[in-house]
């Protein structure tokens, strides 16, 4: 009897986990799947939850801009129709995940969010509407900056990226304290979308360390000051 109860208990757990995973996979979609679902769905409400500045640098066709970080996100979201599906995306994923959760909390039933955001969308060469005509840095200009007798550390960052903000103080300190050891270049991903695509930078933060124009180390995500210094001084 006791053994049977244990078996039943684990079956319930497995069934529950399976359902949770299915629900997540149904509502959180990779860029290509998000695009397909978007094209197959009627009465779509497509919401870009980035800042207006990011939106102007390029967005999905027919998207409306409701900034997740703005104080009026909830108020503006009330204008959406709860009976119709909502598709949300941001630049790299975290904001759209938070916005999707909030919309579900507000009573929206069919909410889909794009994994990896516009960075993954662009990496997959999917179409977007360009509002700003600023091309950003070219690959040739980027390569020119790498020509240095000292190692070059390139930091791809964004103002909305929490790990980027956490790393910013020590990177600025290193640039000021050890210029003879490393040349640090910080590049805003939002303003250099084509360059990011060419260099396959599809998430943030990204550090790339060059020595003699060759990448000797790269890192995706938060990394400590100690580890960065260790790589530079190798």
Instruction: Write out the catalytic residue numbers.
Output: 161, 164
C-alpha pair distances (Å), 82 with each of 48, 106, 107, 110:
17, 9, 7, 8
CA atoms within 13 A on the CB side of 7: 4
Sign of the alpha-carbon torsion through 154, 131, 29, 78: positive
From 87, 46, 91, 84, select the one nearest 69 (Cα to Cα). 91
**Could you report how far apart the first and last alpha carbons of the chain are, in Å?**
63
Quick check: 34 and 114 in contact, CB under 8 A?
yes
Quick check: 129 and 54 in contact, CB under 8 A?
no
């Amino acid at each position: 009897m006791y053994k049977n109860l244990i078996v039943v208990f684990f079956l319930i757990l497995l069934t529950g986990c399976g359902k949770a995973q299915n629900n997540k996979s149904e509502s959180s979609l990779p860029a290509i799947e998000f695009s397909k679902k978007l094209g197959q769905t009627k009465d779509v409400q497509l919401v870009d939850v980035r800042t207006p500045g990011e939106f102007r640098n390029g967005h999905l066709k027919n998207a409306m801009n409701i900034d997740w970080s703005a104080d009026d996100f909830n108020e503006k979201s009330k204008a959406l129709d709860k009976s119709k599906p909502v598709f949300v995306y941001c630049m790299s994923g975290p904001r759209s995940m938070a916005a999707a959760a909030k919309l579900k909390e507000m009573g929206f039933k069919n909410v889909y969010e794009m994994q990896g955001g516009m960075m993954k969308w662009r990496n997959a060469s999917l179409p977007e509407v360009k509002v700003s005509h600023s091309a950003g840095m070219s690959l040739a200009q980027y390569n020119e900056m790498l020509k240095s007798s000292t190692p070059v550390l390139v930091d791809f960052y964004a103002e909305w990226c929490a790990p980027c903000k956490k790393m910013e103080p020590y990177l600025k300190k290193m640039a000021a304290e050890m210029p003879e050891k490393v040349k640090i270049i910080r590049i805003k991903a939002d303003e250099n979308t084509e360059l990011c695509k060419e260099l396959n930078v599809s998430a943030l933060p990204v550090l790339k360390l060059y020595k003699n124009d060759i990448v000797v180390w790269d890192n995706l995500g938060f990394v400590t000051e100690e580890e960065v210094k260790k790589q530079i001084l190798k």
